Chain A
Amino acid sequence: MGNNNVIIKLEDISKDYDLGEVVVKALKKSNLQMKEGEVALLMGPSGAGKTTLLSIMGLLLRPTTGKIYFADKIYDKKTRQKILTDTRRKSIGFIFQAFNLVKSLTVVQNVEIMYKIGQLEKMGYKEKCKEILEMLNMGHRLDHLPKNLSGGERQRVAIARALINDPELIMADEPTGNLDSENGRIIGEYFQQIAKERGTTILIATHDDRLKFCADRIIRMEDGSILNHEHSRNKDE
């Protein structure tokens, strides 16, 4: 890709939804790059295209036009589903507003499932799962079910699940949307820590201004277009 600490690059990406009589341009031709270890907020009003951009960058959606350069591969509208799935599993972590933990699995099992999905039950994986949960202050809740956890605790488990495979990129959609301010702040601090210590690139779609402190950059969107990028003034350097 030329610049060797650019983790992901979007080139002329657009996304249209053909609804029969109407074609909705959810994302107009956009370009974006993110660097290793960068935390960026994706902000804008509802319908701005944040989720669409997030989904395309997370390889959940194929773009209508354009290319994505990531993990030594190029992805476009013709990329096979299996390749997208494999890359997501190996290189991308996801954090959702509703946490999306598996209700029937305990805290530690919700993290271990990433190994099961990847068929990577190698030696020491259980210890690694516990370590990462302890790092996120969930070591005392390993055998609890999600229904017995607070919102903040569930999100920490979701972060552990997103991190366990050492992804290069994390996509977070309104990660603090269901949390109070204190827990939201804690989650933001974790993002900072993860990006700094692991070099993970994190893109957060959010309406929550309180997360600006953890971001290196704020990307503003409106009507399917990226308007501007601004460096976050609230972040401690």
Chain B
Amino acid sequence: MVNLTIRDLFHQKGKFIMVILGLSVSMFLVQYSAGMYNGVLVQSTDPLDRFEFNVWVKTEGDDHFFTGSPINDTTYEIIKKMSDIEEAERLIFTGANFETEDYVVDITLIGYELDSDRIEPWDIYKGDVDDLEDDNTIIVDESILNNFPDLRVGDKVDVGEAEMEIVGFCRNTKFMFNSYAWASIESAQNVAPYYGNWSTSIGVELEDGYDIDDFEDDLDEMYDLELIEELEVFTKEELKENTHTMIINEGGLGGAIYILVGLGFFVAMIIITVVMYQTIQEKIPEFGTLKAIGASKNFLNKILLGQVFILITLSFILGTVLAFIFGALGGSAGIPILLDVFSSIGIYLAYLGVGILCSLFSVSKVHRIDPAIVFKG
């Protein structure tokens, strides 16, 4: 059966192709931005997801994972011995300089308890985690080789105030362009020896029946007794959320993404509005004829909105393919792009909504066409 919607759309092939390309670029922009947003946020708190602690202790005022004012080991020992604590481990998660004779870059140093069951580096492909038992040794993410292509196992580098020996390499332990380097907590403490024995956060497992509010109250009590420094307690989810908020607001991710997404939708709005208006202008006699021979408003709506639906859907498919291709390229260049089904569906529905809204003016114009114009006076 005749499908006027499709035949009309494809009748002007050049115009159709240009519109699809334009909308696809718009959708690629939005999808890529959304993928970057998801990817950066997920990658930022990947360690929290992997480290199997649901409660984290940080210094008062440090409300996200990336900041790390030092927590004295004395405090750690007190917390570890609390009766309702099943397990507690200290962690250093801090920025540091990674320096050779030629070059210096910022890395993130992760110092952890080597006998931990819950915290350890992943995806080691050279060396072994047991090699970290030697003092001042690190396993570093392979992304460091982008800046130091000649680095090998056995090389010595300066990390903060300490000279460290590279004993291994791992993969997928980084945030954006910032490589992670793994060390024992003792080796990591040497990076900033002026802090003494320190860590930046304490992962805690509470015993059943002892909840986070109780834990916080007990810490406040000990602080009041000047037994420990002032601390703040977060669930894993709270710490993740705070970290994401920090990246979005202070890190500039939010502003950049919103601009790109806004631009993408704006381009789509312009394209759809102009194309639909032009289509109506070209086809006034045709629509007038359809109305004269008895086409209802619903029939005409289906033609116009059907065309918007097809344009958006085809563009979405092409834009998504582009986003996946460029996402893979971006990932290999260090930019985490995470495209997920729900975000994509949400973007598609948003575009459909925008498309329908932008074509409403043209739809109403068609409804106002006087069918009597088909007869020439």
| Chain A residues in the interface with B (C-beta under 8 A) | 46-47, 51-52, 54-55, 58, 60-61, 82, 85-86, 88-90, 92-94, 96-98, 100, 102-105, 109, 112-118, 121, 161-162, 173-174, 205
Contacts and interface: CB of A to CB of B under 8 A. Distances in A.
Interface stretch (B3-11, B73-81, B257-265, B351-359): B3-11
Given A102-B4, A103-B286, A85 B377 contact: no
A117 B293 contact: yes
Question: Which of B1, B8, B11 has the most C-beta atoms of chain A within 10 angstroms of its own C-beta?
Answer: B1
Contacts of B292: 58, 60, 88, 94
A118 to B, nearest CB: 7
A115 to B, nearest CB: 8
Contact of A161 (B7, B286, B293, B299): B293
Given A86-B294, A89-B293, A94-B292, A54 B285 contact: no
Contacts of B194: none
B285 A60 contact: no
A105 B1 CA distance: 11
Interface string B249-292: 00000000000000000000000000000000000011001111
Contacts of B372: 55, 60-61
A94 B374 contact: yes
Contacts of B295: 85, 89, 117
Contacts of A85: 291, 294-296
Nearest to A56: B372
Interface string B350-377: 0000000000000000000011101111
B225 interface: no
A104 B371 contact: no
Contacts of B2: 105, 109, 112-113, 116
A89 B294 contact: yes
Given A94-B374, A100-B285, 11 more contacts: A46-B377, A51-B376, A55-B375, A61-B372, A89-B293, A103-B11, A105-B2, A109-B7, A114-B293, A116-B2, A117-B293
A153 to B, nearest CB: 18
Nearest to A125: B1
Nearest to B371: A60
A96 B289 contact: yes
Contacts of B377: 46-47, 51-52
A88 B294 contact: yes
A113 B4 contact: yes
A96 B11 contact: no
A117 B4 CA distance: 10
B375 A96 contact: yes
A118 B294 contact: yes
A54 B293 contact: no
A105 B4 contact: yes
Interface residues of B, number: 25
B310 to A, nearest CB: 14
A88 to B, nearest CB: 4
Contacts of B286: 100, 102-103
Contacts of A173: 374-376
Contact of B374 (A47, A100, A104, A109): A100
A59 to B, nearest CB: 9
Contact of B290 (A86, A97, A117, A118): A117
6 contacts: A47-B377, A58-B375, A89-B295, A94-B374, A105-B4, A114-B293
A161 to B, nearest CB: 7
Contacts of A103: 11, 286
Most chain B CB inside 10 Å of its own CB: which residue of A54, A88, A115: A88
Contact of A94 (B4, B7, B293): B293
Contacts of A98: 285, 376
B296 A82 contact: yes
Given A104-B8, A109-B2, A112-B1, A88 B293 contact: yes
A97 B293 CA distance: 15
Interface string B3-43: 01001101100000000000000000000000000000000
Nearest to B6: A104
Nearest to A49: B377
A131 to B, nearest CB: 17
Given A85-B294, A88-B293, A88-B294, A60 B375 contact: yes
Interface-central residue, A52, A102, A115, by most chain B CB under 10 Å: A102
A116 B298 CA distance: 12
Contacts of B371: 60
Nearest to B295: A117
Contacts of A89: 293-296
Nearest to A93: B293
A89 B299 CA distance: 12
B1 A117 contact: no
Contacts of A55: 372, 375
Of B1, B294, B372, most A-chain CB atoms within 10 Å: B294
B284 to A, nearest CB: 11
B294 A96 contact: no
A103 B375 CA distance: 18
A51 B292 CA distance: 14
Contacts of A82: 296
